[in-house]
C-alpha cells in the first residue's frame, strides 16, 4: 500500500523515476524545492522592464567592471603561482609535503572573513609584511583595488591548486619519460608534455577559480573595505544596495546568477572529463 | 632510398647491476654498431629494467654503461636520459596524445633546439622513410597499432640516437598485424647504424629480428648466442619451451648411452662427441619425435618407453600438442586424426616412446647450470 501510494506520489515528481520509496522521495523533493525556490523568487521579483537602465547605471557598471578586472587578475596570478605550486605538491617528495598541502588548501574551508583578518594582519599597514612593503615601496594594499585582487587570490587560488594538482598526480608519467629519452629538458617536459596533458583540468580549475573570485565577499570587505569604484565589487554592491536600491540589487544578482549558470554549463563537460582523469 | 646513418657509430658495453626493491639484475653484454641483440626472458626476468638502465630512467647500483668512448653510468658519472642520445621505443609506444603524428616525430629535433619549421622538415623525412607520410596530420588515437609502432620508431630515430632500444615492439599488436609489422621492422632497423637492443618474449620475433640473443632469467644472463644455436641447444627450460623443445637436465652415466634425469627417470641417448666428455648434460627432445600409445608398445628397437597421464591438449595450427605428466613429463605432438583415433583426452593413462637417435644430448654450460637447478626444484 505504501509502495503504491509512493508510486502515485511519484507522478508529481517530474524528474524522479516512478519507483522512489517515499522516505527518500519526499525529502529529496523538499530539498530540491529549497534550493530552487529562492532562485525562482529572484527571477519572479526581477524588475525586467527597468533592467537595462539599472545595469547601465554608472555605479552598477563600475562595480561590474571592477569585479571582472579583479577576478580576472586574481585568476591570472593564481595561474602563475598556483600551477607551479600544484606541480611541486604533486611531484616533490619531501618531508612536510602533506602538511604543506593541507595548509595551502586551508582557504577552501576557512571562513572568508577570517581570511580577510589574516590578510590584514599580514599585509595591513601594521602587518608583518605590509609594514615592510610600505617602507620599501610606499605601496599599501588594504582598502585599494590591489587589495581586492589580493583577497580574491587568497580565497580562490586553492580551488585552482587542488584541481590542477589532482591532474598532475593522475597524469601518466610514462609520457614524461618518453619526452626525456627524446632529449627534452625537465622544463621542456613540463611545458611541452605535462602542461598540455593537464589542459582540461587547468581550464576547469581556472574557471572555478575565476567564479570563486567573482563571488568573493567576506575577505574582500574585511581587507579592502567597500569604496565605490575602487573596492566595491558586485557582491558588495548587491549587499549594500539591498537597503538603498533593492531593484539594483536584484538586477546585479541576476547578472551573477547568469554568470554562474554559464560557468556551470561550461564546466559540466570539462568537470566530468577532469574527474574521470583524476 | 638513402640510408640515414650516423657517421660515428659506437659500440655499447654494459657490465653492471640494477636494483629495484628486492629485485637485482646483473648483466654484462656488448653490442656492436649495426648489430641487433635480442633480450629474451620470461616476465619479471629484468628485460625492461635493463632497457630502463640503458636509457637512464634507472641508475645502476654498480658497474658501468659505455657507448663508444662515452661513459653513461658508473664511476660516479650519471648522464640523465635527455643527454644520453639513447632512443627507446616503449612497449605501449607512449605517443603524445595531444600532438599530431608529425609533431610527435618532430619532438626530438625541437628538443635539440631546431625551429618548428626545420623540426617538421626533419620529421617529414622520417615519416617518408617509414611510409607514414599520409598519417602526418593525424592524432595517435587515430592510427592503428601497427602504424603507432612505426610512428614510435620514427620518433625515436628522429632523435638521431647512438643506441636504439625496443621494448617488446610487437606485443601491443594483434597476431595478424604482427606478421607484417615484424617484416617491416626488420627492414626499418636498417635505417639505423648503431647498436640495437630488442626486448621480447616472442621466439619468432627474436629469430627474425636479432643477430644475437641474450637470455635473462631471474635477473641473470643464462644463455648468450646466435638465434640458431640458442634454438638448437637451449640452456634452460624456459628457452626450450619457447622454441618448442622438451629439455631435460641430468647426469650422463659411465656407459655414455643413458642419462639419469634430475627430475627422475632416465633417457637413452646418443651423445655428441662434445657431450661424451662431460658429466652433466642437457637432453633436447622434439615433441614430434615422441609417439603416444594407449597400450605399452612392444617394439624392442625403441629404447625409451615410459608411462604417463595426459594433463591437457592444445590445438596448434596443424597438430595437437599433448602435455603428458610422467617421469619425465613431456610435450608430444600428434595429428588431430591420431587424437580422434586413439581417443586421447585429459586424465588418460598413456605410454610414450622415443628413439635414442632422436635425442640431442649436449653439455650443460656453466651459465645454465644455476637455472637448470632452479627450474628442477
Q: How many CA atoms lie within 13 A of A118 on its CB side?
A: 14
**Residue B194 and residue B257 share a domain:** no
- Model confidence pLDDT, tens digit, residues A68-87: 999 999 999 999 999 999 99
Domain boundaries, given as residue ranges, for chain A: 55-277
Q: Report the chain B residue with the minimal C-alpha distance to residue A178.
A: B94
Does B376 map to a domain? no
Given this model, what pLDDT does residue A274 score?
47
Q: Across the interface, do B81 and A199 touch by the CB < 8 Å criterion?
A: no
- B154 contacts in A (CB within 8 Å)? none
Q: Lowest-pLDDT range, B70-84, B314-328, B355-369?
A: B355-369
Does B61 map to a domain? yes
Q: Report the chain B residue with the minimal C-alpha distance to residue A186.
A: B82
| Residue that is written with C-alpha cell 598526480 in the block | A169
Q: How many residues does chain A have?
A: 278
**H or E segment at A41?**
helix A22-45
- Model confidence pLDDT, tens digit, residues B7-53: 457 999 999 999 988 889 999 999 999 999 999 988 888 888 999 99
Given this model, what pLDDT does residue A278 score?
36
- Looking at per-residue confidence, does A41 or B1 come out higher? A41
- A188 contacts in B (CB within 8 Å)? 82, 111
Please indicate if any CB of chain A lies within 8 Å of the CB of B84: yes
Q: Across the interface, do B55 and A185 touch by the CB < 8 Å criterion?
A: no
- Model confidence pLDDT, tens digit, residues A134-150: 889 888 888 999 999 99
User: Using CA atoms, how far apart are residues B87 and A182, in angstroms rounded to an integer?
Assistant: 7
pLDDT (average), residues A240-264: 87
Q: Across the interface, do B94 and A174 touch by the CB < 8 Å criterion?
A: yes
Q: Report the chain B residue with the minimal C-alpha distance to residue A174.
A: B94
User: Using CA atoms, how far apart are residues A253 and B173, in angstroms rounded to an integer?
Assistant: 58
Q: Across the interface, do B94 and A175 touch by the CB < 8 Å criterion?
A: yes
Q: Report the chain A residue with the minimal C-alpha distance to residue B82.
A: A183
Among B78, B107, B113, the residue to mutate for chain A (most A Cβ within 10 A) = B107
Given this model, what pLDDT does residue A81 score?
97
**Residue B202 and residue B330 share a domain:** no
Q: Across the interface, do A183 and B82 touch by the CB < 8 Å criterion?
A: yes
- Model confidence pLDDT, tens digit, residues A6-47: 444 444 545 545 688 999 999 999 999 999 999 998 888 888
- Model confidence pLDDT, tens digit, residues A206-247: 999 999 999 999 999 999 999 988 999 999 999 998 888 888
**Residue B262 and residue B224 share a domain:** no
Sheet holding B280-285, edge to edge: B266-268, B258-261, B246-252, B280-285, B360-363
Q: Across the interface, do B98 and A197 touch by the CB < 8 Å criterion?
A: yes
**Residue B62 and residue B198 share a domain:** yes
Given this model, what pLDDT does residue A15 score?
54
Given this model, what pLDDT does residue B188 score?
87
Does B351 map to a domain? yes
Q: Which domain holds residue B29?
A: 12-232
B52 burial class (0-12, 13-18, 19+ CB within 10 angstroms)? Answer: buried
**Residue B186 and residue B326 share a domain:** no
Given this model, what pLDDT does residue A1 score?
40
Flag whether the ipTM exceeds 0.90: no
Does B7 map to a domain? no
- Model confidence pLDDT, tens digit, residues B275-320: 777 888 888 898 989 999 998 888 667 889 999 999 999 888 888 9
User: Using CA atoms, how far apart are residues A267 and B230, in angstroms rounded to an integer?
Assistant: 59
CA distance B26 to chain A (A): 23
Q: What is the DSSP letter of A171?
A: S
Given this model, what pLDDT does residue A67 score?
93
Q: Report the chain B residue with the minimal C-alpha distance to residue A180.
A: B82
Among B67, B84, B98, B153, the residue to mutate for chain A (most A Cβ within 10 A) = B98
- Torsion angles phi and psi, residue B354, rounded to 5: -150, 140
Sign for the CA dihedral angle at A146, A148, A151, A156 comes to negative
**Residue B104 in this model has a pLDDT that exceeds 80:** yes
The residues, any chain, with a CB within 8 Å of residue B174's CB and separated by 6 or more, are B145
**Residue B267 and residue B193 share a domain:** no
Q: Report the chain B residue with the minimal C-alpha distance to residue A196.
A: B98
The pLDDT confidence band at residue B102, using thresholds 50, 70 and 90, is very high
Q: Lowest-pLDDT range, A122-126, A266-270, B82-86, B199-203?
A: A266-270
**Nearest CA to B167 among B180, B152, B187?**
B152
Q: Which residues of B99-134 are buried (b: 16+ CB within 10 A; e: fewer)?
A: bbbbbbbbbbbbbbebeeeebbebbbebbebbebee
What CATH number has the domain bearing residue B78?
3.40.50.300
- Looking at per-residue confidence, does B334 or B179 come out higher? B334
- Looking at per-residue confidence, does A57 or A161 come out higher? A161
Q: Across the interface, do A196 and B98 touch by the CB < 8 Å criterion?
A: yes
- Model confidence pLDDT, tens digit, residues B123-151: 999 999 888 999 999 999 999 988 999 99
Q: Which member of B88, B98, B110 has the closest CB to residue A181? A: B88
**Residue B203 and residue B324 share a domain:** no
Given this model, what pLDDT does residue B57 score?
94
**Would you list which residues of chain A are within 8 Å, Cβ to Cβ, of chain B?**
174-175, 177-186, 188, 192-193, 196-197, 199
- Model confidence pLDDT, tens digit, residues B57-84: 999 999 999 999 899 999 999 999 999 9
CATH for A55-277 is 1.10.3720.10
Does B66 map to a domain? yes
Q: Across the interface, do A197 and B97 touch by the CB < 8 Å criterion?
A: yes
- C-alpha distances (whole Å) from A226 to each of A49, A55, A147, B198 are 29, 19, 11, 69
Does B358 map to a domain? yes
**Residue B277 and residue B185 share a domain:** no
Q: Which member of A178, A183, A188 has the closest CB to residue B90? A: A178
Does B246 map to a domain? no
**Residue A49 in this model has a pLDDT that exceeds 80:** yes
**Residue B279 and residue B182 share a domain:** no
Q: Across the interface, do A181 and B107 touch by the CB < 8 Å criterion?
A: no
Please indicate if any CB of chain A lies within 8 Å of the CB of B113: no
Does B272 map to a domain? yes
Q: Across the interface, do A182 and B111 touch by the CB < 8 Å criterion?
A: yes
- A182 contacts in B (CB within 8 Å)? 82, 87, 107-108, 111, 155-156, 159
Q: How many CA atoms lie within 13 A of B336 on its CB side?
A: 6
**Residue B190 and residue B53 share a domain:** yes
**Residue B375 in this model has a pLDDT that exceeds 70:** no
Please give the tally of structural domains in chain B.
Answer: 2
Q: Across the interface, do A181 and B96 touch by the CB < 8 Å criterion?
A: no
Q: Which member of A177, A185, A192 has the closest CB to residue B57? A: A177
- Model confidence pLDDT, tens digit, residues B165-192: 999 888 878 777 777 788 888 888 888 9
pLDDT (average), residues A199-209: 92
Given this model, what pLDDT does residue B172 score?
77
**Residue B369 in this model has a pLDDT that exceeds 60:** no
**Nearest CA to B213 among B44, B29, B350?**
B29
Q: Across the interface, do A178 and B94 touch by the CB < 8 Å criterion?
A: yes
- B96 contacts in A (CB within 8 Å)? 175, 178-179, 193, 196-197
Q: Across the interface, do A180 and B90 touch by the CB < 8 Å criterion?
A: no
**Residue B361 in this model has a pLDDT that exceeds 90:** no
Q: Across the interface, do A174 and B92 touch by the CB < 8 Å criterion?
A: yes
Q: Report the chain B residue with the minimal C-alpha distance to residue A182.
A: B108
- B91 contacts in A (CB within 8 Å)? none
Q: How many residues does chain B have?
A: 377
Given this model, what pLDDT does residue B26 score?
93
Q: Report the chain A residue with the minimal C-alpha distance to residue B108.
A: A182
**Residue B217 and residue B115 share a domain:** yes
**Residue B126 and residue B38 share a domain:** yes
pLDDT (average), residues A177-185: 95
What CATH number has the domain bearing residue B345?
2.40.50.100
Amino acid at each position: 500500500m505504501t509502495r503504491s501510494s509512493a508510486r502515485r506520489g511519484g507522478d508529481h515528481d517530474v524528474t524522479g523515476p516512478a519507483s522512489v520509496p517515499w522516505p527518500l522521495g519526499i525529502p529529496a523533493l523538499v530539498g530540491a524545492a529549497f534550493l530552487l525556490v529562492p532562485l525562482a523568487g529572484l527571477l519572479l521579483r526581477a524588475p525586467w522592464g527597468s533592467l537595462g537602465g539599472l545595469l547601465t547605471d554608472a555605479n552598477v557598471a563600475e562595480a561590474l567592471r571592477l569585479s571582472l578586472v579583479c577576478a580576472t587578475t586574481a585568476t591570472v596570478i593564481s595561474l602563475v603561482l598556483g600551477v607551479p605550486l600544484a606541480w611541486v605538491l604533486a611531484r616533490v617528495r619531501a618531508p612536510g609535503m602533506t602538511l604543506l598541502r593541507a595548509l595551502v588548501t586551508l582557504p577552501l574551508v576557512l571562513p572568508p572573513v577570517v581570511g580577510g583578518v589574516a590578510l590584514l594582519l599580514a599585509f595591513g599597514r601594521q602587518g608583518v609584511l605590509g609594514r615592510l612593503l610600505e617602507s620599501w615601496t610606499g605601496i599599501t594594499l588594504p582598502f585599494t583595488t590591489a587589495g581586492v585582487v589580493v583577497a580574491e587570490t587568497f580565497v580562490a587560488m586553492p580551488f585552482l591548486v587542488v584541481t590542477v594538482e589532482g591532474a598532475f598526480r593522475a597524469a601518466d608519467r610514462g609520457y614524461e619519460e618518453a619526452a626525456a629519452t627524446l632529449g627534452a629538458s625537465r622544463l621542456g617536459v613540463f611545458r611541452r608534455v605535462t602542461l598540455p596533458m593537464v589542459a582540461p583540468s587547468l581550464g576547469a580549475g581556472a574557471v572555478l577559480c575565476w567564479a570563486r573570485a567573482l563571488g568573493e565577499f567576506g575577505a574582500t570587505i574585511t581587507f579592502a573595505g567597500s569604496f565605490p569604484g575602487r573596492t566595491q565589487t558586485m557582491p558588495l554592491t548587491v549587499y549594500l544596495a539591498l537597503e538603498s536600491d533593492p531593484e539594483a540589487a536584484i538586477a546585479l544578482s541576476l547578472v551573477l546568477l547568469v554568470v554562474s549558470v554559464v560557468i556551470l554549463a561550461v564546466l559540466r563537460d570539462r568537470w566530468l572529463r577532469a574527474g574521470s582523469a583524476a | 632510398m638513402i640510408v640515414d646513418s650516423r657517421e660515428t657509430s659506437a659500440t655499447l658495453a654494459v657490465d653492471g647491476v640494477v636494483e629495484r626493491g628486492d629485485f637485482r639484475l646483473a648483466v654484462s653484454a656488448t653490442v656492436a654498431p649495426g648489430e641487433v641483440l635480442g633480450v629474451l626472458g620470461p616476465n619479471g626476468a629484468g628485460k625492461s629494467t635493463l632497457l630502463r638502465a640503458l636509457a637512464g630512467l634507472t641508475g645502476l647500483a654498480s658497474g658501468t654503461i659505455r657507448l663508444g668512448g662515452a661513459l653513461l653510468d658508473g664511476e660516479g658519472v650519471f648522464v640523465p636520459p635527455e643527454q644520453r642520445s639513447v632512443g627507446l621505443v616503449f612497449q605501449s609506444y607512449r605517443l603524445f596524445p595531444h600532438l599530431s603524428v608529425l609533431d610527435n616525430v618532430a619532438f626530438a629535433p625541437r628538443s635539440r633546439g631546431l625551429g618548428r619549421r626545420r623540426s617538421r622538415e626533419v620529421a617529414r623525412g622520417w615519416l617518408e622513410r617509414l611510409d607514414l607520410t599520409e598519417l602526418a596530420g593525424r592524432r595517435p588515437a587515430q592510427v592503428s597499432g601497427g602504424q603507432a609502432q612505426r610512428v614510435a620508431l620514427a620518433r625515436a630515430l628522429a632523435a638521431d640516437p647512438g643506441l636504439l632500444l625496443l621494448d617488446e615492439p610487437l606485443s601491443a599488436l594483434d597476431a595478424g598485424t604482427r606478421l607484417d609489422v615484424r617484416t617491416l621492422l626488420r627492414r626499418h632497423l636498417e635505417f639505423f647504424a648503431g647498436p640495437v637492443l630488442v626486448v621480447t618474449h616472442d621466439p619468432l620475433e627474436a629469430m627474425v629480428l636479432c643477430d644475437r640473443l641474450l637470455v635473462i632469467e631471474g635477473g641473470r644472463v643464462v644463455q648468450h648466442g646466435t638465434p640458431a644455436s640458442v634454438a638448437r641447444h637451449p640452456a634452460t627450460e624456459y628457452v626450450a619451451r619457447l622454441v618448442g623443445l622438451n629439455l631435460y637436465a641430468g647426469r650422463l652415466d659411465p656407459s655414455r648411452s643413458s642419462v639419469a634425469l634430475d627430475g627422475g627417470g632416465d633417457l637413452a641417448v646418443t651423445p655428441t662427441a662434445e657431450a661424451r666428455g662431460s658429466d652433466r648434460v642437457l637432453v633436447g627432445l622434439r615433441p614430434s619425435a615422441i609417439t603416444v600409445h594407449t597400450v605399452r608398445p612392444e617394439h624392442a628397437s625403441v629404447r625409451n618407453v615410459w608411462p604417463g597421464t595426459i594433463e591437457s591438449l592444445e590445438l596448434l595450427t596443424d597438430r595437437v600438442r599433448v602435455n603428458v605428466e610422467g617421469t619425465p613429463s613431456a610435450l608430444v605432438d600428434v595429428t588431430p586424426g591420431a587424437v580422434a583415433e586413439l581417443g586421447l583426452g585429459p586424465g588418460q593413462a598413456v605410454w610414450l616412446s622415443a628413439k635414442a637417435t632422436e635425442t640431442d644430448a649436449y653439455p650443460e654450460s656453466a651459465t645454465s647450470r644455476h637455472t637448470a637447478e632452479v627450474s628442477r626444484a
